[in-house]
Chains A and B, each alone.
Chain A
Amino acid sequence: MRKYADLAIIGTKEHTAYLNSVWANFLAKIVYLYMQFSLWNALFSSNAGRNIPLSHDETIRYIIAATLISTFMECDVTMWINGQIQSGDVANQLIRPIDYRIMIFAKHIGTSAVKLLIYTLPFGILTALFYHDDLFCKEQLLYGILSIILAYMIQFLYSLIIGLMAFWLIVTWPLNMLLAAVYKLLSGSWIPAAMFPKLLTTINMFLPFRAIYAIPVTIITTPMSPGSIRENLCFQLIWLAVLFLLSEVTWITGKNKLIVQGG
């Protein structure tokens, strides 16, 4: 356990090493949230009386919660793994008596913990100063937190799998860029998934993306029937299992394929 804790601490140190970038990240979140806030407010106030799947309040709560969650959810796992595979450094990591994936996970947890402390907490306080109503749906808070934890794991496994693609692709950034764009739209971190047109909703039914933002954020901000909460949590669990198996397969086949520079 000790060694994983050490790895986690390394993660926290790496993230806070550049104070300027911490400030910039924080400011970026504020800039982003204010834009989202103004945009949706303006959309709702200039279209009064239209039939819209989410109410004004729900939408605002949704985007605030989504931005809040994004402060610790996003990770550099894909980048770390890509870098280590490209440079051949992964061979050194494989020699160690710890499982590579758990090692990465420990570091990721460390980074997220520090992000919770330096971004999520102040950001949450800041939002509370400006948004006085209840942001969260109290009755569903526990389910929401459970759903966020599941989403966190799904997001990690997804990033892990994409990161491991470097075994085959070597040059990975175009794939990352492409998937980041798809992820941004389909996960619901940008536009509430309930607003999607029919076609997009149907496509999204069969993809894991909405398990990362749309589901946890909806559970935590919008009152739902117990049945649909259960349904959504099941969706997340199924994807967690599928991604876990997939990551297992990619890891084993990828590792066997690995030839570090020089043979």
Chain B
Amino acid sequence: MYLLKMYRHFVIIYMKGKLAYHFSLIFELIANTIQIGVYFAGFMVIFHNFSNIAGWTQNEVLFMFTTSWLTYSLSCFFFWSPMKDMGELIRTGKFDLYLTRPIGPMLYMVLQQFQYTFIPRLALSVFFWIYSMSKLSIEWTESHLVFYAVSMVSSFVIFSAITVFTGTICFWTVKSEEIVSLLTNNNYGLKNYTDYPITIYNKGIRFLLTFVIPYAFTGYYPVGHLLGKIPAHSGFACLSPVIALAAGAAAFLFWRTGLKHYNSAGA
């Protein structure tokens, strides 16, 4: 409970700081909305001439990738900004500051900020998520609902774990911008691969997205199972929580190791 209270305090302070430049804040939100909006527009343009991709209709694909984007935006509210700043913090030695706090450095970094720039992405994802759901006739039985909810939580954990991983690398390399952008860049990041059914890629990439960087478990497997698209791999769909647990634990351990390895700038 005290964590929530602390988070509230931190967010209020953070937003006050940002609101001091309210024009810049508004422009940031508008620019983000347009950027994400254009991505959706492009998606519509791609499907303007085609009716399906690898057996998935436009709305099915839309439902799949908004599911994934939704949890991604939620995860980014907490983890994106701290992990993006890790390189900078370690380069300048400012990370020491976090070690002196009475709560863990990770917890502190997560709580002390609020990445509002992901609001447009979340809002547009929710909009298209509802839109695609209304176009599809999914039978929402109880077991489906539970399955979908568990998958969403797993997907949140998977995204967060990957973000933490990329941030933790900085303990050794001091820089991870390149890796972060290779994974999540809006134009050419690996994450974009999972906006479409992964059957369109070759075996190696499918393996990579399933077992190495498990992005496929954030959308393709759970939604594919829900829509009955992947009878051959429906066993995979139930693996989401397992993968999430494994990824979460691995990220946690990696972070702990990194933390032990850290010995400040100049020391």
When C-beta atoms are compared, the residue in chain A nearest to B48 turns out to be: A197
Q: How far, in Å, is A43 (CB) from chain B's closest CB?
A: 5
Q: B27 to chain A: which residues have CB within 8 Å?
A: 171, 174-175
Asked whether, in the complex, the Cβ of B200 is within 8 Å of the Cβ of A20, the reply is: no
Asked whether, in the complex, the Cβ of B34 is within 8 Å of the Cβ of A182, the reply is: yes
Q: A47 to chain B: which residues have CB within 8 Å?
A: 49-52
Q: Given the complex of chains A and B, what is the CA–CA distance between A52 and B179 in angstroms?
A: 37
When C-beta atoms are compared, the residue in chain B nearest to A189 turns out to be: B187
Q: B31 to chain A: which residues have CB within 8 Å?
A: 173-175, 177-178
Flag A24-38 by CB within 8 Å of B: 1 or 0 each: 100111011011001
Flag A53-77 by CB within 8 Å of B: 1 or 0 each: 1000000000000000000000000
Q: A32 to chain B: which residues have CB within 8 Å?
A: 187-188
A42 at the interface (CB under 8 A from B): yes
Q: A185 to chain B: which residues have CB within 8 Å?
A: 38, 41-42, 45
Q: How far, in Å, is A154 (CB) from chain B's closest CB?
A: 21
- What number of B residues sit within 8 Å (CB to CB) of A? 42
Q: Given the complex of chains A and B, what is the CA–CA distance between A31 and B192 in angstroms?
A: 10
A191 at the interface (CB under 8 A from B): yes
Flag B214-239 by CB within 8 Å of A: 1 or 0 each: 00000000000000000000000000
Q: Given the complex of chains A and B, what is the CA–CA distance between A196 and B28 in angstroms?
A: 28
Closest 5 CB pairs of A and B: A24-B178, A32-B188, A42-B200, A174-B27, A174-B31
B55 at the interface (CB under 8 A from A): yes
Asked whether, in the complex, the Cβ of A35 is within 8 Å of the Cβ of B193, the reply is: yes
Asked whether, in the complex, the Cβ of A178 is within 8 Å of the Cβ of B187, the reply is: no
A39 at the interface (CB under 8 A from B): yes
Asked whether, in the complex, the Cβ of B190 is within 8 Å of the Cβ of A31, the reply is: yes
B185 at the interface (CB under 8 A from A): yes
Chain B residues 47-90 with CB under 8 Å of chain A are: 48-55
When C-beta atoms are compared, the residue in chain B nearest to A24 turns out to be: B178
Q: How far, in Å, is A255 (CB) from chain B's closest CB?
A: 25
A205 at the interface (CB under 8 A from B): no
Choose among B32, B50, B187, B190 the residue that contacts A177 (Cβ–Cβ < 8 A): B32
Q: How far, in Å, is B222 (CB) from chain A's closest CB?
A: 21
Chain A residues 216-237 with CB under 8 Å of chain B are: none
Asked whether, in the complex, the Cβ of B30 is within 8 Å of the Cβ of A184, the reply is: no
When C-beta atoms are compared, the residue in chain A nearest to B173 turns out to be: A20
B264 at the interface (CB under 8 A from A): no
Asked whether, in the complex, the Cβ of A28 is within 8 Å of the Cβ of B182, the reply is: yes
Q: Given A178-B35, A181-B35, A184-B38, answer yes or no on A42-B54 (Cβ-Cβ < 8 Å).
A: yes
Asked whether, in the complex, the Cβ of A43 is within 8 Å of the Cβ of B42, the reply is: no
Chain A residues 40-98 with CB under 8 Å of chain B are: 41-43, 46-47, 50, 52-53
Most buried by B among A46, A52, A180: A46
Q: B45 to chain A: which residues have CB within 8 Å?
A: 185, 191, 195-197, 200
Q: Known A-B contacts: A20-B178, A28-B188. Give 9 more (CB < 8 A).
A: A31-B190, A47-B49, A50-B50, A52-B50, A177-B34, A180-B35, A181-B37, A184-B187, A196-B45
A-B CB contact pairs (8 Å), 23 listed: A24-B182, A28-B182, A31-B188, A35-B188, A35-B201, A39-B196, A42-B196, A43-B46, A46-B55, A47-B49, A50-B51, A52-B49, A53-B49, A174-B30, A174-B31, A175-B31, A177-B32, A178-B34, A181-B39, A191-B45, A195-B45, A196-B48, A197-B48
Q: Given the complex of chains A and B, what is the CA–CA distance between A175 and B187 in angstroms?
A: 18
Asked whether, in the complex, the Cβ of B175 is within 8 Å of the Cβ of A20, the reply is: yes
Asked whether, in the complex, the Cβ of B50 is within 8 Å of the Cβ of A24, the reply is: no
When C-beta atoms are compared, the residue in chain A nearest to B192 turns out to be: A35
When C-beta atoms are compared, the residue in chain A nearest to B200 turns out to be: A42
B24 at the interface (CB under 8 A from A): yes
Q: A184 to chain B: which residues have CB within 8 Å?
A: 38, 42, 187
